[in-house]
Chain A
């Protein structure tokens, strides 16, 4: 008997989730378009003074990315929960935390990564220069996976609940704050010609810690939610 190894299982989960996301392209596009719209709202609300925009740009792009990530989290477990796949994953002999990690990776590839690709274009709207744009990409590259990992905990805890998105927001936005501070801070530090290495290192450290702890917490939350 040829039992599939753990890595194969994870690859299957990732591939499946990506395939489903590509079939439901509208879902993926919605959070991306949300991102673009929210970023565009700020100049409309604050005014188009280029100096002001350059100061606000990093924070605005980061907050919008954060909100877009959060918006997309509903997708992570809800669909699988509805059609019974989630039960199968929980019952399978593979460690649930690693299957959760696989789902989160797939989610990030279809949600976070597109944000990272689009963000520099939006950064141009805020007159950020080339250095700042590069650091923006780097900070989002390090930060959005952390956001997906932390968000997965919230998505698992609020599975099937009435409060839905608003409750999810209340739970995880406070936890997002450190990532926001160092992510936006990295770009601002670059714009002010101070180094961004400290910020990016801390973002990296946050990612590593979250990588270790979040899938385990999410697996626990899933078990609690489906018992």
Chain B
């Protein structure tokens, strides 16, 4: 284990903003992509249902 405490983990040796800014935005990007995929699928399915 590398970390003595949770706060040390969050602090990342002073680089916390950068590390969590990176991992966080990455997670957000993937989440956004997955939500967009779901929305797109919902849109086409409801359009198909309505059209028929």
Asked whether the complex places CB atoms of A and B closer than 8 A, the reply is no
Q: Which residues of B contact A (CB under 8 A)?
A: none
